[in-house]
Amino acid sequence: MSSRTAAAPDRRAATPRSPVAMTVRYALLSAVSTIRNGRFLVFTAALPVAMYLLFNGLYGQQDAGDGSSLTASSYLMISMACYGAIGGALNSGARIAIERQTGWNRQLRLSALPGSGYLIGKAFVSLLVAVPPIVLVFALGAIVGKVQLSPLTWAVAAVAIWLCTIPFALLGLVIGSLATPDSTQPISMLIYLGTSILGGLWVPIDQFSAFLQHLARFVPTYWIAGIGRDAVDGSGLRLMGVAVLLGWTIVLGAIGVIAYRRSGDRV
């Protein structure tokens, strides 16, 4: 009787964690590891902060010029917050490539962590890295750019930009799962700069040719900034932007699953 009682705790201890619990635990551990890497977070936030200070110093006293009630400072603030959030979400793919090279990816595949848990955990970390640039650029917008918004508007704009970076978090997973550690950074930077310019984060798209203006409306960066500006301006949510971002999310999510499975064949 006593031996049965003593064996019970061992059976409970050997019971595997549920997939949900494993996913949550992995996401938290990955988040802690990323936060401890202060240099990565500083580098991610430094560029959009510097660019906002530069552009605001040059154009902050002008009108936004887009036909809205936005000031130039608030327009630039949204653009650079989006730029920083996208960079943070996208560049986290480099960590995935390094983990594949060091064999950590192989160890995770041998654990009880499901593949979906790995992808969700990495996406969570990518979105976490997108937070500091938004907060810092918004803080500079209020202090340096004299942008005045209600607390609710500040919160809605920040959350809207943050959630809209999901496609780039998934794109980072795709790049990190397919590219080598040496090529991940150049590929990410090429996509980062290309989509930022084409999406109008550096230059308003009305400066582009008619063809590029049409093309920009299918790039997620254009709608991330557009939704952020609509939140500040008090405009309604545009369904076209939601549809484009949702489409990119679905497609990149499917490609991310395939890329993760293919990366397992090569490790």
**CB 199, CB 221: distance < 8 Å:** yes
Domain presence at residue 95: yes
Domain presence at residue 2: no
**Residues 12-27: what's their mean pLDDT?**
65
Structurally, how many domains does the chain consist of? 1
For 120, 236, 267, the CA distances from 112, given in Å and listed in that order, are 15, 45, 18
Report pLDDT digits (tens) over 73-98.
999 999 999 999 999 888 877 778 77
Q: Which two tokens stand for residue 208?
A: 């582009």
For 175, 205, 222, 223, the CA distances from 200, given in Å and listed in that order, are 23, 5, 6, 10
Report pLDDT digits (tens) over 135-166.
999 999 999 999 999 999 999 999 999 999 99
Domain presence at residue 160: yes
Domain presence at residue 5: no
CA angle 36, 121, 156 (to 5 degrees): 85
Q: Determine the structural domain holding residue 250 and report its residue range.
A: 18-266
Assess whether pLDDT exceeds 60 at residue 218. Answer: yes
In this structure, how many other beta carbons lie within 10 angstroms of the beta carbon of residue 143?
9
Greatest mean pLDDT range, 89-98, 214-223, 231-240: 214-223
Domain presence at residue 206: yes
- Integer Cα distance of 161 and 130 in angstroms: 9
Domain presence at residue 104: yes
Domain presence at residue 8: no
- Integer Cα distance of 199 and 220 in angstroms: 7
Q: Rounded to an integer, what is the distance from CA 136 to the centroid of its chain?
A: 15
